[in-house]
Amino acid sequence: MSEATAAGSGIGVRPYAELTFDAEGDVDPGTRDAVAALEATDLLVFAHGWNSDRATSTRLFDRFYAPFPGLVGSGVRLGYVGVVWPSIRFSDEPIPDFDPHGALAEPGHGTALDPATLRALGEFWPGRVAELDRVAELLEDRPESAAAFTEFGALVRELAGVDVVDAPDAAGAVDAAVLAGSAGAAVAGPAVRDVPALFALDVLEVCRALTAGLAEAGAPSGDAAGPGFSPGGGLRALWSGAKELLRQATYYQMKKRAGVVGERGLGPVLAELAGRRPALRIHLIGHSFGARVVSFSLRAVPDGARYVKSATLLQGAFSHYAFTDRLPHDKGSGGALRGMQRRVDGPVVACHSPFDSALKVFYPLASRMAGDSAGLLGFDERWGAIGHDGVQAVPGAPRLTLETALRAGIPEAGCVSVDTGSVVRRGGPPSGAHSDICHEELARLVVAAGRMGR
């Protein structure tokens, strides 16, 4: 049995194939050929978000795809694709109705890294065993020492591939292009001068803000409400914020990778496939940073091509201004994906939920952290995520409830925001409902967007 065939053995729908990319966006040729061989009129292409390995991703694809065969019309022959790329999900971020029963009620492992997460981090950052072991040791011991936090911050920066040594003004130079969704963002990652302030500010200040963010998201308080918020005392309480800093470092890395995999990997593969099979209708689906993967794949769609028939973004972890021609806070710039919705011969549906703590609290916190400690937890819409409040600053883009979208239908083209909070609402801290996406209602939304229904 080939690797491509074996990879799909845990999927209940057929025909199915996985499309695998490395961190640079290079596709595994065997998986590319397996996708090309699928016999279908309509191809569903689903990119996962923060799943740490192929087995976890395959289980998610299986659960999400399960309702589709019973939803489409008789003239539609579906083919199913799972896009697998190097990402990570901490094991204390369970997916409702997906992870073991009772996982949502567990408070996790405190600040210590459980073995599964440590293994996943080792796969995400290969060759960094010594650094990860020391990070794990610090998170488990929680030394009440400013020097220990300084060491931890340096290790996290090294793992994330950022360097602030030669950037004396980095504390005031948040990477606005990457984090605010500017069209000037370089896919390959920021230069030294563009190091996000999350990694450039004093590590105690960052951990203090992230600890407060955890409290806002409803994480178990432990001693987070204790003296950790007072200068010079209670540093032990701030290790919960330190663990969140490590989590944010993986998000930072995944965000960069997602753009690379989408634009340099998935996009060209789908363009080549469409060139060989011009009648094939392709429907893009992405969760979290996977929504960024499929959205950035639109950059590789040739002018005038009409093979992408819909794009459904589930709790997208990128800027809500990504598709705008003009940023409200910078009229001379547009979003990183400005105009890309016009490369879809159908709608771009942005699903959002107010119960997503990852995007409501931590995405904007990490995006805007620029040194003003008094305002670190204040909402600033400049830093919002598309999966939190939908598409912003795109004229004529309707905003619908899930019930309205399913009852009355979805516009035939352009950006559409759909509040899915009626079903995407379950999940514990720190991510809330961010991964609560396995619902038949969302499958029906994909079908409606792609005009595949009965």
Q: Sign of the CA dihedral 147, 150, 154, 159?
A: positive
- Burial code (b: 16+ CB inside 10 Å, e: under 16) for 264-292 equals bbbbbbbbebbeeeeebbbbbbbbbbbbb
Rounded to whole angstroms, how far apart are CA atoms 418 and 400? Answer: 5
By the 8 A CB rule, do 249 and 12 touch? no
CB-CB neighbours of 129 under 10 Å: 12
Structure tokens at 167: 């950037």
- Burial code (b: 16+ CB inside 10 Å, e: under 16) for 345-379 equals bbbbbbbbbbbbbbbbbbbbbbbbbbeeeeebeee
Sequence-distant (≥ 6) Cβ neighbours of residue 147 within 8 angstroms: none
By the 8 A CB rule, do 262 and 297 touch? yes
Which position has the token pair 């001068």? 193
**Number of residues that this document lists for the chain:** 454
Structure tokens at 446: 């994909």
Sequence-distant (≥ 6) Cβ neighbours of residue 216 within 8 angstroms: 361, 377
CA distances from 251 to 105, 197, 260, 350 (A): 24, 15, 14, 20
Rounded to whole angstroms, how far apart are CA atoms 133 and 140? Answer: 11
3-state DSSP assignment of residue 413: coil
Please list the pLDDT of the chain residue by residue as tens digits (454 residues). Answer: 334 444 445 899 999 999 999 999 999 999 999 999 999 999 999 999 977 678 889 999 999 999 999 999 999 999 999 999 998 877 766 667 666 544 443 444 478 998 988 998 998 899 999 999 999 999 999 999 999 999 999 999 999 888 654 443 333 333 333 333 433 333 333 333 456 777 888 999 889 988 988 887 776 544 433 333 343 448 999 999 999 899 888 888 888 899 999 999 999 999 999 999 999 999 999 999 999 999 999 999 999 999 999 999 999 999 999 999 998 888 888 999 999 999 999 999 999 999 998 888 777 666 655 333 333 334 456 678 899 999 999 999 999 999 999 999 999 999 999 999 999 999 887 788 999 999 999 999 999 999 998 7
Rounded to whole angstroms, how far apart are CA atoms 434 and 230? Answer: 31
Q: Is omega for the bond preceding 15 within 30 degrees of 0, making it cis?
A: yes
Rounded to whole angstroms, how far apart are CA atoms 335 and 322? Answer: 4
By the 8 A CB rule, do 24 and 37 touch? no
- The closest alpha carbon to 296, from 186, 396, 389, 190, belongs to 186
Rounded to whole angstroms, how far apart are CA atoms 155 and 80? Answer: 40
3-state DSSP assignment of residue 213: helix
Question: Please, which residues bridge with residue 20 across strands?
Answer: 84
CA distances from 138 to 135, 153, 169, 239 (A): 5, 11, 28, 9
- H/E segment holding residue 293: helix 289-297
pTM as predicted: 0.83
3-state DSSP assignment of residue 289: helix
